[in-house]
């Protein structure tokens, strides 16, 4: 695979025109505080529409992130699903990120099975399926992988499902953490639907796992547990993030949040970021937002809101 040529990329990219008006120069992008209250990254899912539509190449993600003033990225394995063990491809990913001065933060892993499968053999296979992503994360310079804490024991299955699913997920998570520990890679579970979107449940999984490599990825907007009969069952986002922050290995920024009644409202940046900072967290907060038809414009808007919030809170911490 030939190395990319930045000048050719700028000429050929179908997104370059939109990027010109929005781009912030590398010099300006680097004018962040030496030790900011929190750092800002970009989750690849934010541009999933462009990627699925083949209007954007996964390999160009770090280049476009830098053009829009973001110097850290979070990959999604779905966009290089068959490349986890392809050394040449991973080398090109690393070359492009390093060439732009962009930090690779984590890999979000989907479609690799249920970490809490009730079938022990399938649970073991799920752990095995994730190991290649641990290896890839280490090579790319990431500090963790994000996994889904799903079980075949589902929300609402029975009165004992809450505890049964916790034990199963904790078993699978602990096994994966034991492997990842040799690579100094964390394994983090995001609140991502079902039981995982119940703050108390996920905290319980962390306690049962009892491994220093296990962590959470609090997502501001993913506290919808399920929808039944037209009614949304959810968990209060602010409470959930507060509960999950002591175990956080990352943070995922959405612009809306659920309350305990299932109502969705615009994110209160100040309130939420104070919760994050009060927990002592100073790591990356990954933007995971991209509006249809204006993905990059909306990403930049969220980045600006985060910077504004960070500046406003600077004197309080």
Residue 95 within a domain: yes
Domain count, the chain: 1
User: Tell me, what's the pLDDT at 32?
Assistant: 46
Q: Phi and psi dihedrals of 232, rounded to 5?
A: -90, 130
Share of the chain residues as helix, strand and coil, in percent rounded to the nearest 5: 50, 20, 30
| Predicted local confidence at residue 250, as pLDDT | 98
Would you call 280 helix, strand, or coil by DSSP? Answer: coil
Return the CATH number at 225: 3.20.20.150
In a domain, 1, yes or no: no
The structure's pTM equals 0.90
Give the pLDDT of residue 3: 52
The pLDDT of residue 262 is 93
Residue-number span of the structural domain to which 235 is assigned: 6-316
The predicted pLDDT at position 31 comes to 44
Q: What is the pLDDT along the chain (317 residues), one digit of tens a residue?
A: 445 555 454 434 444 434 433 444 444 444 444 689 999 999 999 999 999 999 999 999 999 999 999 999 999 999 999 999 999 999 999 999 999 999 999 999 999 999 999 999 999 999 999 999 999 999 999 999 999 999 999 988 888 999 999 999 999 999 999 999 999 999 999 999 999 999 999 999 999 999 999 999 999 999 999 987 778 999 999 999 999 999 999 999 999 999 999 999 999 999 999 999 999 999 999 999 999 999 999 999 999 999 999 999 999 99
53's CB contacts (< 8 A; 6+ apart) are: none
Rounded alpha-carbon distances, angstroms, from residue 140 to 9, 64, 127, 137: 22, 18, 20, 5
């Amino acid at each position: 695979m030939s190395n990319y040529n930045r000048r050719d990329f700028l000429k050929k990219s179908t997104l370059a025109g939109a990027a010109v008006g929005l781009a912030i120069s590398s010099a300006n992008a680097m004018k962040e505080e030496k030790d900011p209250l929190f750092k800002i990254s970009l989750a690849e899912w934010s541009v999933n529409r462009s990627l699925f539509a083949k209007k954007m190449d996964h390999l160009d993600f770090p280049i476009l992130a830098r053009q829009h003033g973001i110097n850290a990225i979070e990959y999604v394995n779905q966009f290089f699903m068959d490349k986890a063990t392809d050394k040449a491809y991973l080398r090109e990913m690393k070359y492009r990120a390093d060439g732009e001065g962009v930090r690779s933060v984590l890999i979000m892993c989907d479609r690799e099975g249920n970490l809490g499968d009730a079938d022990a053999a399938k649970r073991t296979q799920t752990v095995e399926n994730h190991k290649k992503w641990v290896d890839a994360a280490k090579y790319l310079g990431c500090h963790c992988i994000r996994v889904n804490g799903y079980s075949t024991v589902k929300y609402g299955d029975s009165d004992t499902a809450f505890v049964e699913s916790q034990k199963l997920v904790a078993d699978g998570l602990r096994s994966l953490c034991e492997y990842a520990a040799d690579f100094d890679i964390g394994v983090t579970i995001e609140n991502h639907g079902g039981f995982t979107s119940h703050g108390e449940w996920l905290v319980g999984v962390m306690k049962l796992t009892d491994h220093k490599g296990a962590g959470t990825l609090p997502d501001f907007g993913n506290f919808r547990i399920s929808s039944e009969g037209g009614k949304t069952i959810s968990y209060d986002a602010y409470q959930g993030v507060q509960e999950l922050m002591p175990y956080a290995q990352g943070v995922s920024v959405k612009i809306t949040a659920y309350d305990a009644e299932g109502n969705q409202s615009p994110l209160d940046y100040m309130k939420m970021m104070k919760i994050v900072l009060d927990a002592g967290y100073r790591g990356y907060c990954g933007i995971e937002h991209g509006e249809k038809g204006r993905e990059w414009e909306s990403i930049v808007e969220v980045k600006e809101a985060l910077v504004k919030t960070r500046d406003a809170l600077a004197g309080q911490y």
